[in-house]
């Protein structure tokens, strides 16, 4: 007999291990979907889909071929995500190029550390423009498109553990506020679009090793962060791929309105 997954000796078997493996790791079907991922260059989850904003399309295509994945049609788009007219124009071009969008991942974002009493109002508004309004504008376009086309799609909003905790020792009230807003936006959209079969969820990363946190000062901060991370290390960007693929695929077909915190255990305290 095939092996089973058991929770205890008193419970009857619920899932065949072979079925679980086929369901969760059937990634090829996800690669056939049209996915649009926003990225600001040094964002938290730049490496969600083999991608890195610092790489050329030719380099990414070569990596796809090397890994034996299905051929991918990758195209870059440049857009001011806080400009509604620019977002509408970019979205229209994407739909024209691909015909539809099945998955949207809003990963563009900026960060900054300034004491609340010293925060310049224009800088505050700029943070919210990119992190909150940019997410809203693209999610709105995706929602309208999916509803009109009858697409039971998946929208993945990249938030942060900073949306549910206050980081230390750095002061970053604007960033924390913006990421908390993204979580509430995700839950609100999930409640409204569920009737259309559209799932909306969030990935909330912890600290990640990117070009944005290199340098002597950031190394000092990283040592402080690691003290509070049960896994005792900073995450690598590629460690978020699995979570993203899971949310984008039918393996998570009953998941919506959820925030998955991927932080090495930082928020357990």
The one catalytic residue in 52, 154, 173, 179 is 179
The one catalytic residue in 49, 52, 159, 160 is 160
User: Known catalytic residue: 179?
Assistant: yes
User: Known catalytic residue: 253?
Assistant: no
According to the 3-state scheme, what is the secondary structure of the chain? Answer: CCCEECCCCCCCCCEEHHHHHHHHCCCHHHHCCCEEECCCCCCCCCCCCCCCCCCCHHHHHHHHHHCCCCCCCCCCCCCCCCCHHHHHHHHHHHHHHHCCCCEEEECCCCCCCCCHHHCCHHHHHHHHHHHHHHHHHHHHHHHHHHHHHCCCCEEEEECCHHHCCCCCCCCCHHHHHHHHHHHHHHHHHHHHHHHHCCEEEEEEECCECCHHHCCHHHHHHHHHHHHCCCCCCCECHHHHHHHHHHHHCHHHCCCCCCEEEECCCHHHC
User: Known catalytic residue: 160?
Assistant: yes
The one catalytic residue in 154, 162, 173, 175 is 175
Known catalytic residues are 160, 175, 179
């Amino acid at each position: 007999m095939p092996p089973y997954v058991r929770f205890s000796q008193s419970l009857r078997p619920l899932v065949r291990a072979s079925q679980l493996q086929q369901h969760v790791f059937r990634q090829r079907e996800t690669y056939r979907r049209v996915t649009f991922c926003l990225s600001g260059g040094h964002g938290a989850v730049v490496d969600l889909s083999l991608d890195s904003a610092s790489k050329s399309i030719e380099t990414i295509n070569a990596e796809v071929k090397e890994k034996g994945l299905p051929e991918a049609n990758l195209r870059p788009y440049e857009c001011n995500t806080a400009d509604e007219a620019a977002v509408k124009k970019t979205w229209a071009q994407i739909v024209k190029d691909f015909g539809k969008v099945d998955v949207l991942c809003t990963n563009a974002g900026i960060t900054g550390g300034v004491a609340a009493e010293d925060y310049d109002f224009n800088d505050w508004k700029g943070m919210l423009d990119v992190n909150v309004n940019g997410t809203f504008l693209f999610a709105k376009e995706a929602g309208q498109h999916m509803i009109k086309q009858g697409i039971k799609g998946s929208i993945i909003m990249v938030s942060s553990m900073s949306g549910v905790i206050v980081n230390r020792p750095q002061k970053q009230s604007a960033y924390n506020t913006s990421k908390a807003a993204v979580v509430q936006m995700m839950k609100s959209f999930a409640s409204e679009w569920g009737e259309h079969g559209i799932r909306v969820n969030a990935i909330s990363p912890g600290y990640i090793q990117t070009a944005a946190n290199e340098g002597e000062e950031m190394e000092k901060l990283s040592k402080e962060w690691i003290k509070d991370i049960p896994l005792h290390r900073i995450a690598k960007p590629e460690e978020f791929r699995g979570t993203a693929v899971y949310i984008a695929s039918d393996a998570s077909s009953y998941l919506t309105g959820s925030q998955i915190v991927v932080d090495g255990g930082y928020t357990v305290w």
